[in-house]
Structures are given as C-alpha cells and as structure tokens.
Amino acid sequence: MNSNPTILAIESSCDDTSAAVVSGGEVLSNVTAGQAIHAEFGGVVPEHASRAHQRNIVPTVAVALKRANVLPEELDAVAFTRGPGLIGSLMVGVSFAKAFALARGLPLIEVDHMKAHVLAHFAEDPKPRFPFLCLVVSGGHTQLVVVNSPLDHEIIGKTIDDAAGEAFDKTGKMLGLDYPAGPRIDKLAASGKPVLAFARPKMDGLDFSFSGLKTSVLYTLRKEIEQSPNYLQDNLADICAGVQQAIVDILIHKITKAAEQTGIKEIAVAGGVAANSGLRKALEQRGQEKGWNVYIPKLAYCTDNAAMIGVTATFKYQLGQFVGQEVAPAARL
C-alpha cells in the first residue's frame, strides 16, 4: 500500500462546502465555497444549507483537483466528513464521496469532524508533538482534548451549555449583528475597550459554561437602553470588546487549568473561534508566561475546511482504516 497516498477530501458538515487534495500529508489544494444565504436568516437554515451544498459540491471538487494539478486517476482514496453536523448537509458530501469512489474504484475513508479540527495542525509546520493539549472551539462544540497520538483523543473538558462560537453568535444577534457574528464582533472589538465586565461563570473543573454571559449581556443592554435609547449604537465597539474579552478569559482560564493538571506544555487551539484575534493574542501571551509551545492554525485551517479532513484521512489510510459503501452520515458521533 502507498504510504504517501493522494486523497480527495470533502467537508460538508455545516454551511461551507469544501474540497481538498492532500498528497503524502501535504495540502495541494483547499477550496471552500461559503453560503452567504444564512446571514439573511440570522443563523444556518439546514434546508438552505443542503441545497447550497448540492449546487456547490461538483464545481468545488473540480476546482480542488485543478488547483492541485491532480487527475482523478491519480487519486488513492476519497475521504469525507461523516459527522457530527447537519444531517442533510452531511448527506450531500457523503453521497458525493461514495459515488466518486464507486465510479473510480477507490477506497473510502470516513472522518470525524471534531478530530479533524484537532489534526488541522498537521496541515502546516511546525506540528505539535504528542501528547498535546488542544482547545477545540467551534460553532457547535467547545472541548479540551488530550491528543495522545493522531487518532487517540481524550476529551477532558466540554461545555455544559452553549459552544464558544454560539456564545459569539447569540450575543452578536442581541447586538443586531448578522450571522455568523463571531468575525463581526472580532472586527468591532478591535476599535473598542472592554469597559463592561460581563459575568464569568464560577465553574469548577474543566467544563465550560457560556449561558450566564448571554444573560449578563441581555440584562446590561436592557438597563442601559432604558436610560439612553441609543446606548447600543453609541457603544457597539466597547460592548463587542467586553463580550470578546469575557469569552477569551473563560477559554484561557480553562486551558491554563488543563495544562497545569496534565503537565502538558504543547498547547494548541482549533476550530472556527480559533480565528479570533483576541484569543490568538491571549494564548500567545499566556504561552510565553508559562513556557508553552503554542500552536495556532492559519485562518483557513481554523474554520471548516477539507484540508483537515484530508490530513486526518492520511493517518487513517496509513492504518488501513477504510469503510464500505454501506457507510451513512451521522449527525452525532
């Protein structure tokens, strides 16, 4: 078996259609088609998402192959996100991958979206050394993971309510910002000051909670707007800076605790919220204070992308972990 396989990878778990070609673990192309339609509805509408995936998947794969300068007959396997995610969205990627593999006689590799976020670090250099600790922060998940080897991941902390990305998106909605609000809050926060100290949860252990922050923002806004109706418009940048600071503080506090408990100094962050400039800066700073080696993926490898699926599939290919045509998507894994 080829230990440096060339793999076509597909990601379609939420609202981005992405295709990548990864050869010998190296990313040759990574093409992502976003779905602007969801901003109009204040969140991802599953039915719209699956229809957009259907429109996007064929051209996205064609561009990924072209940019990689790889012909279908040069591929060794097809990989796809099996879950977790929106079932209709996953169905499009899984069906495409199965049909492509069947037509070309290629083996299929299924990938867990959350493990792929963690392994996105292997799409570029420097790569973390095992065991490393990874904070995975996305729109649907917030997890602290001890990564013992490429496919041995142990979850030591998770959110008990909202995910970090949801905390950004839901508070952003209260502020009148379009979905996804995370990047918009990030941008606005850059010109504001975190003068408002929103509530931080008092949670023992390594689990997270963000619902108190949401309530705290809601009550603060209500009180201030009663006194001055233009409060939101006049203070938007400062409010965003306060929200971002609170979320970043919660995340940095827990990863510091996890690093102390496990004694691990290889520290990584992954997922869409890892694109947040406040979090990136705070993690670098904490890393310097604590003597950690900090790993932060480039922006395209933080948000959903097929490169991370291809990199994860490369590890699975090398271990001979393939699936048959009977494989089905799974909203939860």
The C-alpha R_g of the chain, in whole angstroms, comes to 20
**Residue 287 interaction partner, one of Zn ion, ligand KG4, none, beta carbon < 5-8 Å per kind:** none
Please answer whether residues 52 and 46 qualify as being in contact, where contact means their C-beta atoms are separated by less than 8 angstroms.
no
Distance (Å, whole) CA 100 – CA 62: 12
Please answer whether residues 85 and 113 qualify as being in contact, where contact means their C-beta atoms are separated by less than 8 angstroms.
yes
Q: Give the shortest CB-289-to-ligand KG4 separation in angstroms.
A: 23
**Residue 169 interaction partner, one of ligand KG4, Zn ion, none, beta carbon < 5-8 Å per kind:** ligand KG4
Please answer whether residues 184 and 58 qualify as being in contact, where contact means their C-beta atoms are separated by less than 8 angstroms.
no
**Residue 275 interaction partner, one of ligand KG4, Zn ion, none, beta carbon < 5-8 Å per kind:** ligand KG4
Q: Beta-carbon neighbour count of residue 35 at 10 Å?
A: 20
Whichever of 6 and 12 has its CB closer to Zn ion, that residue is 12
The three-state secondary structure class of 175 is coil
Residue 165 is a binding residue for ligand KG4 (CB under 6 A) = yes
**Residue 42 CB-density burial (10 A; 0-12 exposed, 13-18 middle, 19+ buried):** middle
Q: Give the shortest CB-117-to-Zn ion separation in angstroms.
A: 6
- Give the residue, chosen from 112, 162, 169, 266, that forms a contact with ligand KG4 under the rule CB under 6 A: 169
x/- mask, ligand KG4, residues 77-116, rule CB under 6 A, reads: ----------------------------------------
x/- mask, Zn ion, residues 129-148, rule CB under 5 A, reads: ---------x----------
274 to 313, contacts with ligand KG4 by CB under 6 A? Answer: 275-276, 303-304
Output the CA–CA distances (angstroms, integers) from residue 312 to 27, 50, 89, 122, 227, in the order listed.
12, 24, 20, 8, 53
Residue 32 is a binding residue for ligand KG4 (CB under 6 A) = no
177 to 216, contacts with ligand KG4 by CB under 6 A? Answer: 180-183, 186
Residue 169 is a binding residue for Zn ion (CB under 5 A) = no
Q: Give the shortest CB-212-to-ligand KG4 separation in angstroms.
A: 18
Q: Give the shortest CB-308-to-Zn ion separation in angstroms.
A: 9
Residue 142 is a binding residue for ligand KG4 (CB under 6 A) = no
Residue type, 94: V
- Give the residue, chosen from 35, 138, 235, 245, that forms a contact with ligand KG4 under the rule CB under 6 A: 138
Residue 243 is a binding residue for ligand KG4 (CB under 6 A) = no
Distance (Å, whole) CA 171 – CA 174: 5
DSSP strand E in the chain: where? 6-11, 17-23, 26-33, 77-83, 108-112, 132-137, 142-149, 152-158, 266-270, 293-295
Give which of 258, 170, 260 is closest to 215, Cα–Cα. Answer: 170
**Residue 132 interaction partner, one of Zn ion, ligand KG4, none, beta carbon < 5-8 Å per kind:** none
276 to 315, contacts with Zn ion by CB under 5 A? Answer: 304
